[in-house]
Amino acid sequence: MATSKFIKPYIEHGEKAGAVRKITVSIPLHVLRPLSDERTRRQVNNLRHATNSDLLVEAFLHAFTGQPLPTDEELRRIMATAKKAVAKKLVAKKAVKKAAVKRAVKKAAVKRAVKKAVVKRAVKKAAVKRAVKKAAVKRAVKKAVAKKVVKKAAAKRVVKKAAAKRVVKKAAAAKVVKATKAAKAPKVAKAPKAKK
């Protein structure tokens, strides 16, 4: 069952989540021993794909499609390029993360500044409102005091006028009484003057 199409036996580490399915495999111990030995050899030589899963996939593809097993040189080269790619990815990720953090910090600072300005404006507005209210209350009190003074003065004038009226009335009544008495009193004849 040899195929001309090359099938990639590995999935990159960051992409495994959606592209790999775990299965349980029963493997005879006499087959597991050489598999584990190869895995150990790759780990000792610092070669890539040193897991039982990777080795089983390689073996399956070699057996059923005729695909050649990777050489140590390929595993080393792949390891070097992968390390570089991973290192580059990490640097890029860190840079992106750093930039995102910077943006977030800047955004938070701007938000805080805006919030502070809004609070300041609100405080200022409240102070102005209080001042206006205070001034209005002062004016109302002043007006009320002025009204009271005017009312008091008016009341005084009314009382004075009434008192004056009463005095005039009394005087008029006294005149009338006097006139009436004078009119009612009998006229006494004047005694003639004695001759000398």
CATH 1.10.140.10 fits 13-70, yes or no: yes
Smallest CA-to-CA distance from 56 within 72, 34, 37, 35 is with 35
Determine how many CB atoms are found less than 10 A away from the CB of residue 185.
Answer: 8
What ranges do the domains of the chain cover? 13-70
Rg (CA), the chain: 60
pTM above 0.85, yes or no: no
| The predicted structure's pLDDT at residue 59 | 92
Lowest mean pLDDT among 73-77, 84-88, 112-116: 84-88
At 73 the pLDDT is 87
Predicted confidence at residue 162, as pLDDT, reads 86
Share of the chain above pLDDT 90, in %: 40
Residues of 131-164 as b/e, b for ≥16 C-beta within 10 angstroms? eeeeeeeeeeeeeeeeeeeeeeeeeeeeeeeeee
pLDDT for 105 equals 92
Residue 50 is predicted with a pLDDT of 84
Both structure tokens of 73: 């040189």
Instruction: Look at phi and psi of residue 118 and say left if phi exceeds 0, alpha if psi is from -120 to 50, else beta.
Output: alpha
